[in-house]
Amino acid sequence: MVNSYSKNANHNMRRPVIKDDIVHFMRKQQKQNTGFLAELEAFARQENIPIIQHEVVAYFRLLMQSLQPEKILEIGTAIGFSALLMAENAPQSKIVTIDRNEEMITFAKENFAKFDRRNQIQLLEGDAADLITNLDEEFDFVFMDSAKSKYIVFLPEILKHLKVGGMIVFDDIFQGGDIVKPIEEVRRGQRTIYRGLQRLFEATLDNPGLTATLLPLSDGLLMVRKNQEVIDLPD
């Protein structure tokens, strides 16, 4: 049993905002993983480790094969599944992935050692807020899959390290449907996340320097394209 994630898993992932029969259809009808990716996906589901759901897996395959990004940044490594998925579908890319959970880092290191065949992936250990600031490179693609309340905190520094024309994908932004409710109807323990996500939407969805859209896959994706070098964000 993977203790640190099974106890604190994102329970919103088990409250899909799409009808169950449609979710089942998307997960069963789309191409399934094979080989080590299938093995890692099955392990994560069994151990309640919150990796991306299969409809997002299928979308990321298409996204990576279409965009073919050269440099990818991922915040939230977990066992390394999504980094390995991106590496397989963008074989020319270099990926920097960040996590601070020691148990997950141990799993990720083992998986990268076994399955990162082209040595594409660099794992950085520690707090993302500190590590992002110290990065000295620009990225074509950023995948955010960490603490949802921190997305808005990371956004200014992420944008500084994103190339013009580059894209950010934020995962799990519908908060199990809570995001459409008045804050008074949201459980108190979820309100910090709620406020952070609302600020993220305010900063991105109607920003003239960005193109952004929401996708109803799994618990929701926010996709953001950087259109100009300097992006003004609300205080």
With tokens 């109803």, the residue in question is 216
Residue range 130-149: mean pLDDT, rounded: 96
- Residue 173 domain-assigned (yes or no): yes
Cβ atoms within 10 A of the Cβ of 26, count? 18
pLDDT value at 7 more than 60: no
Known binder of ligand: residue 128? yes
Which residues touch 234 (CB under 8 Å, ≥6 apart)?
Answer: 199, 202, 203
**Domains in the chain, number:** 1
pLDDT value at 14 more than 90: no
**Full residue range of the structural domain in which residue 165 is found:** 3-226
Known binder of ligand: residue 171? no
Known binder of ligand: residue 173? no
- Residue 231 domain-assigned (yes or no): no
CA distance 162 to 172: 21
Q: In the structure encoding, which two tokens stand for residue 4, read together?
A: 């640190």
Residues 50-102 have pLDDT tens digits of: 899 999 999 999 999 999 999 999 999 999 999 999 999 999 999 999 999 99
Q: In the structure encoding, which two tokens stand for residue 1, read together?
A: 């049993």
Q: Across the chain, what does the average pLDDT equal?
A: 93
- Residue 234 domain-assigned (yes or no): no
Residues 152-200 have pLDDT tens digits of: 999 999 999 999 999 999 999 999 999 999 999 999 999 999 999 999 9
Strand 221-226 with 210-215, pairing:
antiparallel
- Residue 233 domain-assigned (yes or no): no
With tokens 């290191």, the residue in question is 109
Residue range 108-133: mean pLDDT, rounded: 97
Q: Which pLDDT does position 235 carry in this prediction?
A: 84
Local structure of residue 22 (DSSP, 8 states): H
Known binder of ligand: residue 235? no
Q: Which pLDDT does position 183 carry in this prediction?
A: 97
Residue 68 · residue 89 · CB < 8 Å: no
Known binder of ligand: residue 99? yes
- Residue 232 domain-assigned (yes or no): no
- Residue 155 domain-assigned (yes or no): yes
Q: What is the CATH number of the domain that holds 93?
A: 3.40.50.150
Residues 193-220 have pLDDT tens digits of: 999 999 999 999 999 999 999 999 999 9
Alpha helices (H) along the chain: 3-6, 20-29, 35-46, 54-67, 81-89, 102-115, 128-134, 151-160, 191-204
pTM (two decimals):
0.91
Residue 176 · residue 17 · CB < 8 Å: yes
When computed from its CA atoms, the radius of gyration of the chain, rounded to whole angstroms, is 17
Q: In the structure encoding, which two tokens stand for residue 157, read together?
A: 């520094």
- Residue 41 domain-assigned (yes or no): yes
Known binder of ligand: residue 146? no
- 22 to each of 13, 28, 171, 216, how far by Cα in Å? 15, 10, 19, 11
